[in-house]
Homo-oligomer: A and B are copies of this chain.
Amino acid sequence: MSDSLDCEACSLTPLDLYERLAAQGDKVRLLKTEKASKDETDEAVKLLLALKTDYKKLTGQEYKAGSPPTDVTLVTNNGPAATEEEYDFVDPWTVQTSNAKGVDYDKLIVKFLSMKLESKLSFLVYEFTKQVTNVLLYMALFFRDVHQILDAYENKKSFYLYTGRGPSSEAMHVGHLIPFIFTKWLQDVFDIPLVVQLTDDEKYLWKDITPEEAYKYAIENTKDIIACGFDMSKTFIFSDLDYMGASPGFYRNVVKVQKHVTFNQVKGIFGFTDSDCIGKISFPAIQAAPSFSSSFPQIFNGRKDIPCLIPCAIDQDPYFRMTRDVAPRIGYSKPALLHSTFFPALQGAQTKMSASDPNSSIFLTDTMKQIKTKINKHAFSGGKDTIEDHRKYGGNCDVDVSFMYLTFFLEDDEKLEQIKQDYTSGALLTGELKKILIETLQPLIAAHQERRKQVTEETVKQFMTPRKLAFEF
């Protein structure tokens, strides 16, 4: 990225630039906190000043932290660029890339303005948690506004976690587990409440299913989420179809968000058109509302000021950019975000995982034999065509799906690094790499299946009952 953004050439809106500036301001603060080298700090400050100049050029206003530009439209044009050889398309419903290595996150960062969790910043997270693990390094590449969460933590104030799932079918695959494994890790580390939203209303609006079917999927998915091991005394899982009708606090926040977002804005952010139903158009407010603690009066005793940290896949960012734009205008703090990367399909990062294609992923209901067969038969390989060539030239970890899966599920960093070296050198053959993945996934999924069996209807009901959680604020 050049030091200054050529705003006339680029498609940044005033709000994009404002957010970019806010992020750069955070970065400079962080560099100073961690006493980074003078050169590095100077460079960051230089970019900050350049951005401020651009901002004034674009908006006619001086940049002021905490005051977003007025009368601006939120716009992200993230559609496929037909003229480019490679393209990524990412929105909350579609993740597509033409690149076997997967989505280009560096480009996505620029588009979504998330901040990369570089090693120098993970230092702070280390300070924060005293527990840097590969979970964080591999799963959460980006974050936004974690500063306020750090502040809360430093001042021994609490915060809460919010994540979600769109229950589009009963079948969840291993990729769906990633945000939940990560969220559970955060809950364990910080010992804080968690709310999990099941957007059964969204799935009813988007898909050709009845509300009853969507609700049934929500319940079935809840069992898989519970099986991830969340602490019942600190976790509230809710279906929108149920909870909207069970909490005036939630609906009040939904309406507040709905009042402060125009059709123009959701058109820009989500690509809605005039032919879309009004349910889709207003839905983003329903995903936004759980970011505010007053949506859960039973948990937070009616307090409106408990900060929220949202671990989620990066494709959900458009919802939360909208949320972060609205928050200060309705008197709330912006939620902080930790974005996890996408989980690739077995056939490769440029193909789509689909619940209707059982071979596109490993499902949580697969037998041990199915796991083995699918990986051996369908996992895209970065190896060479013959053993001779593989030994001679080595394999390519960047496009090898088995290796990508291991980066998510193998907890031992050193072992992972060794695998990478061996596969790249040709010492490790594709069949051997696949065997490691099979032996990693099989016990993990077997254990999940065992825990899911233990989840009774009564347990589901308890998790899904609006109630006080075991936490004092």
Contact = CB atoms under 8 A, between A and B. Distances in A.
Interface of A: 201, 204-205, 211, 241-242, 244-252, 255-256, 258-264, 266-267, 272-279, 281-282, 284-285
A194 to B, nearest CB: 22
A248 B245 contact: yes
Given A201-B255, A281-B282, A262 B245 contact: no
Contacts of A211: 252, 255-256
Given A246-B245, A248-B246, A251-B244, A279 B258 contact: yes
Contact of A274 (B259, B263, B277, B284): B263
B274 A267 contact: yes
B285 A279 contact: yes
A246, A264, A279 pick with most chain B CB within 10 angstroms: A279
Nearest to A202: B255
B255 A278 contact: no
Contact of A244 (B248, B256, B274): B248
A436 B285 CA distance: 54
Contacts of A267: 274
Given A201-B255, A275-B263, A241 B248 contact: yes
The complex is assembled from copies of this chain, and their number is: 2
Given A241-B255, A245-B249, A245-B250, 9 more contacts: A201-B251, A244-B251, A245-B245, A259-B279, A262-B275, A262-B276, A262-B278, A263-B278, A278-B284
Contacts of A248: 241-242, 244-246
B242 A245 contact: no
12 contacts: A205-B259, A211-B255, A242-B248, A245-B251, A246-B246, A255-B279, A258-B278, A262-B274, A263-B276, A266-B278, A267-B274, A279-B282
A240 to B, nearest CB: 8
A250, A258, A285 pick with most chain B CB within 10 angstroms: A258
A278 B282 contact: yes
Contacts of A278: 258, 261-263, 266, 281-282, 284-285
A204 B259 contact: yes
Contact of A255 (B204, B251, B255, B260): B204
Contacts of A260: 277
Contacts of A258: 205, 277-279, 282
B274 A205 contact: no
Nearest to A211: B252
A264 B241 CA distance: 26
A262 B275 CA distance: 6
Nearest to A206: B259
Contacts of A273: 263
The 6 A-B pairs of least Cβ separation, nearest first, read: A258-B279, A245-B248, A282-B282, A244-B251, A278-B282, A245-B251
A205 B266 contact: no
A201, A244, A256, A276 pick with most chain B CB within 10 angstroms: A244
A473 B281 CA distance: 37
A50 B110 CA distance: 62
Contact of A263 (B250, B261, B263): B263
A335 B201 CA distance: 25
A277 B259 CA distance: 5
